[in-house]
Homo-oligomer: A and B are copies of this chain.
Amino acid sequence: MSHKSIKSILNKKFDYKINGRLWIECKGEGFFGPGRVELLQRIDKTGSINKAAGEMGMSYKKAWEMINALNVQAAKPLVIMQAGGNRGGGSVITEEAKKLIAYHDQLRQRFISFLEKETQNLVTL
């Protein structure tokens, strides 16, 4: 046990835990994380950037900028957008997007495991 000495620092009345964020970077800036995952999933469900943004309490503008950045950073487009047409148009996520979401889900699960393990280590140390 390498850090028994930390014990006295933690107030027993409070609950401490290890937490964090994780994302995929591209060229030093954010590429893929929880926010974009949720947006893609809601676009997939609703067929509309507008509706997806509304569900998330996000402005259409911000949502559009997010998926635009995604399409620019990725080798292949992740969202196909159509202005005009049947029912005014809409947006569809690609198979590549679904695969990226699946990869991210597994990555996130490993991260959560890491956090839980470290929290357990902190609390019991």
B21:A25 contact, CB within 8 angstroms = no
A111:B9 contact, CB within 8 angstroms = no
Assembly stoichiometry (copies): 2
B22:A76 contact, CB within 8 angstroms = no
Query: With contacts A18-B107, A20-B20, A25-B19 known, is A8 near B118, CB below 8 A?
Result: no
Q: Is the interface of A mostly helix, strand, loop or mixed?
A: mixed
- Cβ–Cβ < 8 Å partners of A21 in chain B: 20-21
> Which A residues are within 8 Å of any B CB, using their own CB?
2-3, 5-6, 8-12, 14-27, 31, 73-76, 78, 96, 99-100, 102-103, 106-107, 110-111, 114, 118, 122
- Cβ–Cβ < 8 Å partners of A15 in chain B: 26-27
